[in-house]
Amino acid sequence: MGQEIACRVQFDGKSSRGKVLLESKEILFRGDFRLLVPFASIKSISAADGRLQVKTSDGIAVFELGDRAEKWRDKILNPKSVVDKLGVKPGDTVTLHGSFDGEFQETLKQRGAKIRTGGNVPWIFFQAQSRGDLARLKTVANTVKGSTALWLVYPKGTKTITEGDVREAGLKRGLKDVKVVSFSETHTALKFVLPERKR
């Protein structure tokens, strides 16, 4: 959802400086102690004077975030759907390559997107479960024209395919990576577009 930022956290009588990351479903802090706060565990949340206060059944955590405190509170209280994060709008046309589950396809349809099997479309989604799947990328990458965006979706935290593998495959096809989002609890999505000089 964003990049790690420096932050001081107070929790359970302890205070530490470290790095905090706002994910799509949790807050993760790493410092002298580690703190993971799933959104589902939050009982109340408030922001004031640059501090984000989060109450869970485990206690109250205070994150010193400065001007980010209110923004983080709003993002936690009003999380974006995966389709919002991917940028697909009502009426957009998408093409799917790979084994996307029915839930994602249904989410696209609920958004009002049209799923097509080919042609010139603004959104292409390609799922790679392993490095071997990236061999099929050449044909798909050749269909990226103008402002078309290609999202490469791959598993999180596996050795069979890494973000480095995915980025390298896209760059090899003449594309530029511009954004990364959490696609689901198990998958990440990396967005590629043509460099402006090639559009």
Q: Name the CATH superfamily, with its identifier, for domain 82-198.
A: Vaccinia Virus protein VP39 (3.40.50.150)
Residue range 5-77, CATH number: 2.30.29.30
**Structure tokens given for 75:** 């993002």
> What pLDDT score was predicted for residue 3?
65
SS3 46: strand
> What pLDDT score was predicted for residue 125?
97
| Parts of the chain belonging to CATH 3.40.50.150 | 82-198
Q: CA–CA separation, 36 vs 76, rounded Å? A: 14
* Cα dihedral sign, 103-124-83-36: positive
Residues 6+ apart with CB under 8 A from 105: 96, 115
User: Tens-of-pLDDT digits for all 199 residues of the chain?
Assistant: 566 899 999 998 999 999 999 987 899 999 999 999 999 999 999 999 999 999 999 999 999 999 999 999 999 998 888 898 899 999 999 999 998 988 899 999 999 999 998 778 999 999 999 999 999 999 999 999 999 999 999 999 899 999 999 999 999 999 999 999 889 889 999 999 999 888 8
Report, in angstroms and rounded to the nearest whole number, the Rg of the chain calculated over CA atoms. 19
> What pLDDT score was predicted for residue 2?
60
| Parts of the chain belonging to CATH 2.30.29.30 | 5-77
